[in-house]
Amino acid sequence: MTRENTKRPSAGRSRNLTLSVALIVGFAASVVFGLSLTRAAAGVATIWLGSGIVTAALLLLPRRWGFGVAAICFAFQFLCNLRINPPLIGLTFSLLCLGEALATAWLARKTCGQTMRLTSLKRVARLTAFAVAPATAAGAVLAADVLTLFGRSFNEVLGPWFYAHALGMAIVLPVILMVSRRDLSEDFRRSALEQVGLYGLIVAASIFCFLPIRFPMPLLVFPILTLIAVRLGPRGAAVSALVLAAIGAGLMMTDYRPATGATWTMLEKTRSLQFLIAISFFTSLSMALAIADQKRLKRLWAGRTRVARAAQARAIAAGQAKAEFLATMSHEIRTPMNSIVGFTEVLLRRDDLPEAARRQLSLIDRAGASLLTVVNDVLDFSKMEAGEVELAPRPVTPRAIAQDSLAIVAEAARRKGLDLQLGFIGPVERPLMIDDLRVRQILLNLLSNAIKFTEAGRVRLDVQVREGEGGRALRFTVTDSGVGVPSDKIERLFKRFSQVDSSVSRAHGGTGLGLAICRGLTELMGGQIGVNGGPGAGSVFWFEIPAAQADADCAEEAAAPAAAGLRARILLVDDHPMNRELGATVLGLLGCEVVLAENGEEAVEAARSGSCDLILMDVHMPRMDGLEATRQIRALGGANATIPIIAMSADVMPEMETACLKAGMNDAVGKPVQIQTLHAIVAKWLAAMDGPAAEAAA
C-alpha cells in the first residue's frame, strides 16, 4: 500500500472523530439548553434542537459512527431526564426523540438523495416538507398517545411537541448540513473580522428584540439577517437564525412584555418566539440561497465563457494551421504539375508525333487533369467553408455557357460512345447577369459525373430561362441513362466526402467534394440544386439560380468579338528553370516575345531597362519575392506604374491573392497554367491596355 493510500483512511477517521465529538458536544449543550426552557405543564421544551443534531450525525457520518453518536446522545439525554422526570417518563422522552431522529434521517435519504446537498431553496423545502414535518408530526402523535398513560393531556402534548421539535429540527439540521460543506462558502469568503462583526450584530439584535421596550424591536432582525445573507451566504444565514433561536428562547422565558403592555401567557410567548424564528430563518435562508445560486450561475457562465474562448482560440489556430497546410501542399503539388500539364499540352500540339505516343500523352493529360480536379475541389471547398468565395457576375448568354460546357466534355463522351444532346427552352440568346465561371464549374461537375456513371446511352443537357414570381430564373438539367441513384442515398450526395458507393471496391473514384461544392456555389448564388431518379433508371440532376437581365451596354459587351492573336513583349519571372522553359515555350506558341528573369531583383532591372507590354510574376522566389519586386517596379514610375503585372503562383489561397493585389498586381492565375487560360488572361490585360494607349495616341 502506498503512502497516499495509508493517509486517506487516516484522514477519514480523523474527520469522523472530529465531527462526532463536535456533534456530541453540541447535542449535550442543546439538551441542557432545551431542558432549562421547559416551562409548559406537559414538560415539553420551547424549542428542541437535539433531534436535529442526532439526525445530522446519522446523515453525515458512516453508519457505525452515526449509530455510535446516536447511542451516546440517547444515554446523555436519558441521564438528564432522570433529574427532572421519573425514570419511565425520562426513558420515554429519550426513546421518542431517538426514533424521531431515525425516521427523519431515513426520510431525508429517500427524498433528498445520498449527498444531502442543500444548494437551493427547493431542496431545503423538500427536506422540511417530506422529512422533518412527517417525522416530527408522527413523533408528536406518538408522544401524546404514550404520555396520556402517565396522566398528561393529549392536546397539551401534541401541539407543543410538534412546534418545538419541528422548528428545532428545521433549523439545526440545515445549519449542520450547510456548515459541513465547504463548497457552499466559496463565493462568500469574508475576513474573520467581518464575520465576527456580523455575528456580533445579530447577537446584539437578538438581545434587543426581547427587551421590554415599546418600540417593536423584532423588526430590526430582518435587515440584519438580510445583510448577513448577502455577505455570508446560506451558512451565515443558517447560523444567524440558530443564534436568534437560542438567544430568543432564553430571553423569552424572562419577564417579557410586548409593546402594548399586555401580559402574555407562556403559550403565547412560546408561539410568538417560534413564529419569529421560523419567519426569520426561512426568509434569510431563501435570500441567501437565491444569491448563492446567482453567484453559482455567474461562476458557471464565466467558466463556460473561458472554455468557449479557449475553444475559439483552438479553432482559430486550427484554421490557420489548416490554411498554412493547404497553401504549402498546394504549392508543392502544383509546382511539378505545372510542368506535367504544360509540357503535355505543348507536345500534343505537335504534328510529328506517332499515334502511340499521342495516345500515351493523352493518357498523361487526362491523369494530370484528374489530379488537378482533386486539388481544386479541396481548395474550393476550403474557400467555401471559410466564406471566401466571391461572385463576379457579368453578361453572358445561357446558350454560350451550355455549348462551351458540352464542348469541354465532348471528348470524354466520345471515348465512351455516349450520345451528347442539348436542348433549350425560353430566350437563351439574351445575355443574363451571372457568374459564368461558377455556373460553368457546377455544370461541368454535373456533366462529368453523368458521363462517368453512364456506360452506354446518352447524356442530355437542357437549359431553360423562365419568368417566375421572384423574377427571371435560369435552370440547367442534366439527364443521363446511367446507374441512377438509390432513393436512400440521395441525402448523402451533397454532403462533403460522401459518395453513393463508398466501398473499397467502388468502380469510380473521386474526392466526394464535387457535389458539395456545387450545392455551396448554388446556394451562394441564391439558388437550389437537386436530383431525381432511381437505381438503374438513370438520374436527373438540376440546379436553378436567379438571373437578372443584362442592360443594353452589357449586352453589347457580351456580344463583342474575342481579342485577336497575341503580339506582345512579355517579361516572365520565375525561379524554377523548368517553369521558365515551359512559360517561354507556351508564350512563343501564342505569338509573344519573351524576356526571362530568375528572381525579383532581375525583374526590377529588366523593367527599368526594357520596355515590356506585360509581366508574369512568380510570387515565391529567393533573394526578392514577387510582392516586393512588384512594389519596386511600381515605384519606378512612368510606364512601369501602369504595366499589367499578373501573378503566376502555385499558392492559390485567397490570402495570397489578396496580398498580390495589395502589392500592386493586376490579377492572379494559379499554376498549373493551361494554354487556354494563359491566352485568355494575357489577352484580357493586353486589350485593357490598348484602350488607354490608343486614346493617348489620339
Structure confidence at residue 615 (pLDDT): 93
pLDDT band of residue 576 (cuts 50, 70, 90) is confident
Q: Is the pLDDT of residue 509 over 50?
A: no
Residue 435 backbone phi and psi in degrees, to 5 = -85, 95
Distant-in-sequence, close-in-space partners of 526: CB < 8 Å, separation ≥ 6: 545, 546
Q: Where in the chain is the domain with CATH 3.40.50.2300?
A: 569-697
Amino acid found at 688: A
Candidates 3.40.50.300, 3.40.50.620, 3.30.43.10, 3.40.50.2300; correct CATH number of 569-697? 3.40.50.2300
Confidence check: pLDDT of 551 > 60 = yes
- Report residue 644's pLDDT band, with 50, 70 and 90 as the boundaries: very high
Residue ranges, CATH 3.30.565.10, the chain = 392-559
Would you state the pLDDT for residue 299? Answer: 82
d(CA 273, CA 241): 12
Note whether 365 and 344 are within 8 A (CB).
Answer: yes
**CATH number listed for the domain at residues 10-180:** 1.10.1760
The DSSP annotation for 139-197 comes to: HHHHHHHHHGGGT--HHHHHHHHHHHHHHHHHHHHHHHHHHT-GGGGGGG---HHHHHH
- The domain made up of 392-559 has a fold known as Heat Shock Protein 90 (3.30.565)
Residue 231 above 80 pLDDT? yes
Least confident of 185-199, 326-340, 484-498, 563-577: 484-498
The angle subtended at Cα 673 by Cα 652 and Cα 646, nearest 5°, is 65
Q: What is the mean pLDDT of residues 506-533?
A: 75
Higher pLDDT, 163 or 333: 163
Residue-level pLDDT at 104: 92
d(CA 447, CA 519): 15
pLDDT at 695: 41
pLDDT digits (tens, 9 = 90+) for 377-420: 666 666 666 666 677 788 888 998 888 888 878 888 888 888 98
- C-alpha dihedral sign at 425, 428, 430, 433: positive
pLDDT digits (tens, 9 = 90+) for 367-379: 676 677 667 666 6
* Mean model confidence pLDDT for the chain: 79
pLDDT-derived band at 261, boundaries 50, 70, 90: very low
Which three cell numbers mark 465?
430561362
Return the pLDDT at 226: 85
pLDDT at residue 39 tops 70: no
Compare 312 and 376 and report the one with higher pLDDT: 312
d(C-alpha 494, C-alpha 511), whole Å: 12
Higher pLDDT pick, 501 / 451: 451
List the single range of 173-182, 271-280, 424-433, 663-672 with lowest mean pLDDT: 271-280
Residue 662 and residue 644: Cα distance in Å, rounded?
14
Count of alpha carbons within 13 angstroms of residue 588, beta-carbon side: 11
pLDDT over 70 at 502, yes or no: no
- Give the pLDDT mean for 585-608: 89
Provide the percentage of residues in the chain whose pLDDT is more than 90: 14
Percent of the chain with pLDDT over 70: 79
Task: State the span(s) of the chain assigned CATH 1.10.1760.
Answer: 10-180
Cell numbers given for 147: 404520555
Q: Which has more pLDDT, 546 or 254?
A: 546
pLDDT band per the 50, 70, 90 thresholds, residue 572: very high
Quick check: 508 pLDDT over 50?
Answer: no
pLDDT at 558 (0 to 100): 47
Task: Compute CA distances 173 → 20, 55, 104, 131, whole Å.
Answer: 15, 7, 10, 11
Q: Which of 518, 530, 532 is nearest to 487 (CA)?
A: 532
CB–CB of 29/22 below 8 Å? no
Confidence of residue 488 (pLDDT cuts 50, 70, 90): low
| The model scores a pTM over 0.75 | no
